[in-house]
Amino acid sequence: MPTPPPPPLAVMSKDSKPWRPFTTNCCSIEDQTVFGNFSRCRPTRSQFSKNVAKLPSFRRLSFSDLSSSTSSTRINEDLAHPFGSSLNVFLLSELRAITQNFSSNFLLGEGGFGTVHKGYIDENLRQGLKAQSVAVKLLDIEGLQGHREWLAEVIFLGQLRHQHLVKLIGYCCEDEERLLVYEFMPRGSLENHLFRRVSVPLAWGTRLKIAIGAAKGLAFLHGAEQPVIYRDFKTSNVLLDSDFTAKLSDFGLAKMGPEGSDTHVTTRVMGTYGYAAPEYVNTGHLTTKSDVYSFGVVLLEILTGRRSVDKTKPKAEQNLVDWARPYLTSSRRLRCIMDPKLGGQYSVKGAREIASLALQCVSLNPKARPRMPAVVEVLERLQNLRDMAITSGHWPTTPKSNRNGVSAKGRRETRPGAYWKPSPVAPTRHG
Instruction: Determine the structural domain holding residue 351 and report its residue range.
Output: 190-419
- Same domain for 383 and 307: yes
Same domain for 173 and 245, yes or no, is: no
List C-alpha distances in Å: 220 to 141, 217, 226, 247, 372.
32, 5, 11, 12, 9
Residue ranges of the annotated binding site are 137
Do 412 and 286 share a structural domain? yes
Query: Residues 31, 78, 232, 250: which is the catalytic one?
Result: 232
Q: Of 138, 157, 183, which one is at a domain's C-terminal end?
A: 183
* CATH number of the domain bearing residue 131: 3.30.200.20
Q: How much is the pLDDT for 390? A: 58
> Binding site membership for ATP: which residues?
137
Shared domain for 238 and 179, answered yes or no, is no
Domain end, chosen from 183, 217, 246, is at: 183
Q: How many domains does the chain have?
A: 2
The whole-number pLDDT of residue 399 equals: 44
Distances from the Cα of 377 to the Cα of 196, 219, 367, 370, angstroms: 30, 11, 19, 11
Query: Which domain-ending residue is among 149, 164, 183?
Result: 183
* 230 and 84 together in one domain: no
Say what the pLDDT of residue 36 is: 35
* Strand partners for 420: none
Answer yes or no: do 226 and 282 share one domain: yes
Cα distances (angstroms) measured from residue 245 to each of 209, 289, 384: 7, 24, 18
Question: Which pLDDT score is estimated for 142?
Answer: 67
pLDDT tens digits, 89-133: 999 999 999 999 999 999 998 877 789 999 999 888 877 788 999
CA dist 360 and 306 (Å) reads 19
Q: What is the pTM of this model?
A: 0.75
Q: How far is the C-alpha of 146 from the C-alpha of 48, rounded, in Å? A: 6
Partnered with residue 180 across adjacent β-strands are 137, 171
Give the residue ranges of the chain where pLDDT is below 50.
Answer: 5-68, 391-431
pLDDT at residue number 149: 84
For residue 79, being part of any structural domain is answered with yes
What pLDDT is attached to residue 158?
A: 87
Q: Cβ contacts of residue 255 below 8 Å, gap of 6+? A: 55, 228, 229, 231, 265, 267, 286
**Residue 322 known to be catalytic:** no
CATH number for the domain spanning 405: value is 1.10.510.10
Q: 200 and 177 in one domain?
A: no
Asked if the structure places residue 108 within a domain, the reply is yes
338 found inside a domain: yes
Same domain, 173 and 217: no
